[in-house]
Chains A and B, each alone.
Chain A
Amino acid sequence: MTRTGGKGGKGRGKGEELMVPRAEFRSYYGRPVIKAPAWAARDIAGYFFLGGLAGAGSVLAAGAHLTGRTTTARAMKVSSLAAISLSTAALINDLGRPGRFPYMLRVLKPTSPMSVGSWLLSAYGPAAGAAALCAVTGRVPRAGAAATAAAALLGPAVATYTAVLAADTAVPAWHGAHRELPYLFAASATAAAAGMALVVAPARESGPARCAAALATLADLGATKATERRLGMVAETYREGKAGRLLRCARGLIGAGAATAALAGGKSRPAAVAGGLALLAGSACTRLGVFAAGIASAEDPVYTVVPQREAKARREAAEAGEAKGAAGA
């Protein structure tokens, strides 16, 4: 019947994954229980991508700076500055009251990832900007090195906090994956930065980028798998519809990009550029896909009701088991 407590979520056979019967559940005329964010995909998923590109790019730039790969270092610093500037513009554009964006720094709230992120950006942005300016003008190299180091220290946080931003909501596809999403975002950011380095750097300097691209590809695949395993029935939202298409595209592009870069990127400049562009596009698709999965999971009440029913049944079974020494489903 339409009771939902023990629906066959876990007993699902591997072979029939594509045709999972719709979970039976009850709702108020099929209306969503929670509200999907009104955020524009272009602005917010775009920001996830650009923030990742900037943050991870700063780490890559610092490495290049340290190892004397000056062309890569300069190009990546400029790329990070451009990406973080665009990010900020996208974030402000998405506000309901753009003129009130300074209110973001009215308070510092550790319970609000958006507040933490705003402060993070306000520290990272100037550092990335100073690093880029010094690299381009060649002036005050000491200050440039310090700014490069500061941006590289803050960069990984800029790249991963956005996962917390998404996960700290009631959106089932995001909150359910709150343990895995940061790793997926870190992998995706690494892929983007490696891709950018492949596009802008000369072939003889691209060894680390190719290596990072390969690592990012493996991590991306692993994190996606882990996310889907964790989410149970909500993982449908990562496989179906727009999100499914985007994430399949992402996997294809990142895999192809990393492979192209690894095999030919060291010798052929066009191959490096092609691989880099594929990595960048793949990373953008990942963010857009995760964003779309979240929206899909918020708009269909099944993803709110069924997992909550299951969690409740599990908890009650555990409580009953504690009380009686026997668990009932």
Chain B
Amino acid sequence: MTGRLLSGPEPDPAGDAGHLDAPPRVGFFTDTTVCIGCKACEVACKEWNAIPEDGLSLTGMSYDNTEGLGASTWRHVAFIEQPSTAPSAPPAPSAPSGSPGPGPGSVPVPDGRTELPLTDQRAATAPAAGGEGGDLRWLMSSDVCKHCTHAACLDVCPTGSLFRTEFGTVVVQEDICNGCGYCVPACPYGVIEQRSSDGRAFKCTLCYDRLGAGQEPACAKACPTESIQFGPLDELRERAALRVDQLHAAGVEDARLYGDDPADGVGGDGAFFLLLDEPEVYGLPPDPQVTTRDLPAMWRHAGAAALSLAGAFAASYALPALTRRGRGRR
């Protein structure tokens, strides 16, 4: 019996969750090389799902004023501005966080610069050689709930509010959630969040309502460059592998898939990505693990600790009695 695995490859999460005759598992393949940062996905998501406004402030860090995924942000476009001299190497010796580094104009290295050949090939491209001297590149990526094969949020939800749909996606039932907030720290990607004005937890539903009506999710529908591709997961994985090969052949050696591997720490993501740099540069964890993988060990240790506690008190009652008996009364 291999059903109900807590981690590792699992071919049929919907079936494992009890759906009979489930349709094929669907998901997103987000090809960040063609993202132009238009944020149409963010807007479409907000509009379709009637998500409340959650701040109109400017961050000052980049064109990204959305900041990150949250209770009221189910799509988030990340903007990374970095020197494009040697894309695979870190931007600058002491840059702590993938931020622009020592400042513009200080790295005009015409020699080692990698001009991504995408510009002359297909439609729009992410890495436009912009800014002064063309020494910068922009990475843009539309982030979303990963709809993990082994979803920690779902595993730890005490009410059963989070559930696995017949499409293999993970959805919160708003009428069940009691706002315990356990899913929030459980998510290895920092996706799900409690809405403070409401108390309950919210996240991307992969447009469960639209899927039921045979429509694609709003973000994918709105994406003008097909950076966000929706479809059966198997098909998307094939398409993504071809795209990476194509990019490698074109000399874009940094192209790599993220979240596509069913053998990874969460059993593969329902929403996976094609990235041009390390995942952490995009705010993604480099090696996420479903926390429930270690739950059997945790319960074992908790059991042993509970026994130790009982044992310690037993000893505490036994020892004074023994010493008293040895010494006589009092």
Contacts and interface: CB of A to CB of B under 8 A. Distances in A.
Given A186-B308, A208-B313, A115 B281 contact: no
B180 A305 contact: no
Nearest to A69: B317
A186 B310 CA distance: 9
Given A3-B90, A34-B185, A164-B295, A219 B98 contact: no
A170 B152 CA distance: 9
Given A111-B6, A215-B316, A183 B306 contact: no
Contact of A309 (B158, B286, B294): B286
Interface string B95-110: 1111100000000000
B176 to A, nearest CB: 6
B89 interface: yes
Contacts of A37: 181-182, 184-185
Contacts of B181: 37-39, 94, 96
A143 interface: no
Contacts of B314: 63
A38 B96 CA distance: 27
A223 to B, nearest CB: 9
B163 to A, nearest CB: 10
Interface in B156-190: 156-161, 176-182, 184-190
Contacts of B305: 156, 160, 163, 182-183, 185-186
B196 A38 contact: yes
B95 A104 contact: no
Interface stretch (A22-30, A134-142, A243-251, A272-280): A22-30
Interface in A175-215: 175, 178-183, 185-186, 189-190, 194, 207-209, 211-212, 215
Interface stretch (B61-69, B124-132, B205-213): B61-69
Q: Which 5 A-B pairs have the closest CB atoms?
A: A96-B179, A96-B199, A28-B283, A100-B178, A207-B320
A284 B283 CA distance: 35
A159 interface: yes
Given A24-B96, A190-B312, A212-B312, A103 B176 contact: yes
Secondary structure call for the A interface: helix
B30 interface: no
A59 B302 contact: no
A183 B61 contact: no
B309 interface: yes
Interface string A140-181: 000000000000100011011101110111110001001111
Given A31-B283, A35-B185, A38-B184, A26 B278 contact: yes
B310 A59 contact: yes
Contacts of B284: 33
A130 B244 CA distance: 66
Contacts of B179: 95-97, 100
B250 interface: no
B158 A163 contact: no
Contacts, number: 279
Interface residues of A, number: 87
B230 interface: no
B90 A26 contact: yes
On chain B, which size bracket covers the interface? 35 or more
Contacts of A207: 320, 324
Given A26-B90, A29-B97, A96-B181, A35 B156 contact: no
B276 interface: no
A154 to B, nearest CB: 10
Contacts of A95: 178-180, 199
Given A67-B317, A96-B180, A107 B194 contact: no
A51 interface: no
B82 to A, nearest CB: 10
A182 B301 contact: yes
Contacts of B281: 26-28
Contacts of B51: none
B98 A26 contact: yes
A180 B305 CA distance: 9
Given A164-B295, A178-B297, A29 B310 contact: no
Nearest to B91: A2
Interface in B30-88: 61-62, 64, 67-68, 70, 78, 80
B17 interface: no
A106 B283 contact: no
Nearest to B308: A186
Contacts of A185: 305
A172 to B, nearest CB: 10
